[in-house]
Homo-oligomer: A and B are copies of this chain.
Amino acid sequence: VVGIKVSVYGATGYTGYELYRLLKSHPMVEEVILKGRRTGRLSDFFPTVFEDAEIVPFEEEDDSSVAFLALPHTVSMEHVPALIGAGKKVIDLSADYRFSDAKIYEACYGVSHRDPANLSRAVYGIPEFFTEDIKGSHLIGNPGCYPTSVLIPLLPLAHERLIDENFFVFVDSKSGISGAGRKARENLHFPELYDSFAAYGVWNHRHQPEMEHILSKVAGCNLRVRFVPHLVPMSRGILSTIYFRVKDEVKAMNLLVDFYEEARMISFVEKLPSTKDVRGTNNLLYTFRNEGKEFVVISVIDNLVRGASGQAVENMNVVMGYEESAGLPSLPLFP
């Protein structure tokens, strides 16, 4: 089998490096081309990378089949039209192609969308749920880390209209600090966070409308999400504790237990999962408890793998017709 060439736009952040790490050992990938605003050797940006690589300018042409965009919001949409035009499949890790409706994007990110044509054709990339849409797509909006942890367990319920829209869906999420990106900021300075825990963005984080938008679209009715993210003094992992009410508890229980039975990288578990159970993997584990119609779902992911770069690779796998889990490690780095 001859492998493909892929390019990674934005190679110097955490998700860019994680894409590199996963794609370098992907059985179907022959070459990984790194592109950046800042160029140089990858080892200039990462401590002693063993398999070093050159980062070339964005503008430099290449013959990759798939382009991964690990770029900030609003920067992605400057590059996508040309990449699509060049016949590449594009998987965008920013928020630029997550909302089918440009108005929601604009309300949420405070800028007008400059590529509405492609936006309307983009597919939201939860590979196990929107599989068929992704298969035929040229442009995937890779989901946010928090939404991934919430939507995977809840979408089957939303689709069957089992979530009671008369109640809020309360999402209480906890994330390792790598989710805040690689840029040094005073509030992310080591001693400010160590041995400490806090919430941020209460009910006004940008992932709240993302969850509401996708859940409501799938449910066909207006589901209201109220989201509180918290920062855990650790590097990796997201755990979401999700409170909601269903219309039929027996159907909900069955769906939660059965829906992802065939999925190799999503698992309903009885024991309470920990973020360490999925570290370095693309797996999502979830469990639930209920009292009648009142449910709590608990899910865990690695925010940089399933929450970003790993899911992006999985989306490539689906788009290209590879095995869903190709190149994605299934065993966590433990401890």
Q: What residues make up the interface of A, taking CB atoms closer than 8 Å to B?
A: 14, 17, 20-21, 24-25, 46-51, 168, 170, 172, 174, 176-178, 182-186, 188-200, 202-203, 226, 228, 230, 232-237, 239, 241, 243, 265, 267, 269, 271-277, 279-281, 283, 285, 289, 291, 294, 296, 298, 300, 329-331, 333-335
Contacts and interface: CB of A to CB of B under 8 A. Distances in A.
Contacts of A237: 195-197
Contact of A272 (B50, B198, B272, B275): B198
The quantity of this chain's copies bound in the complex is: 4
Contact of A202 (B188, B272, B279): B272
B14 A335 contact: yes
B291 A230 contact: no
Given A48-B273, A174-B232, 18 more contacts: A14-B191, A47-B271, A47-B274, A47-B334, A51-B330, A174-B197, A176-B195, A177-B194, A178-B191, A185-B189, A190-B194, A194-B195, A195-B276, A196-B335, A197-B234, A197-B275, A199-B272, A230-B241
B182 A184 contact: no
Given A48-B267, A197-B174, A277-B48, A20 B331 contact: yes
Contacts of A168: 294
A211 to B, nearest CB: 16
Chain B CB within 10 A, most for which of A24, A190, A200: A190
Contacts of A334: 14, 17, 21, 46-47
6 contacts: A21-B331, A47-B274, A191-B235, A192-B276, A199-B272, A280-B280
A50 B283 contact: yes
A333 to B, nearest CB: 5
Given A184-B188, A196-B234, A232-B233, A47 B294 contact: no
A195 B279 contact: yes
Contact of A333 (B177, B203, B280, B331): B280
Nearest to A305: B333
Contacts of A296: 202-203, 226, 228
Contacts of A234: 194-197, 233
A329 B237 CA distance: 21
Chain B CB within 10 A, most for which of A20, A184, A300: A184
Nearest to A49: B331
B194 A239 contact: no
A190 B177 contact: yes
Given A47-B276, A199-B241, A271-B48, A194 B232 contact: no
Contacts of A186: 182-184
A260 B198 CA distance: 22
Nearest to A46: B334
Contacts of A170: 170, 243
A277 B192 CA distance: 10
The list of the 8 closest CB pairs from A to B, nearest first, reads A196-B276, A198-B274, A191-B335, A177-B190, A47-B277, A172-B172, A48-B277, A178-B191
A34 B177 CA distance: 33
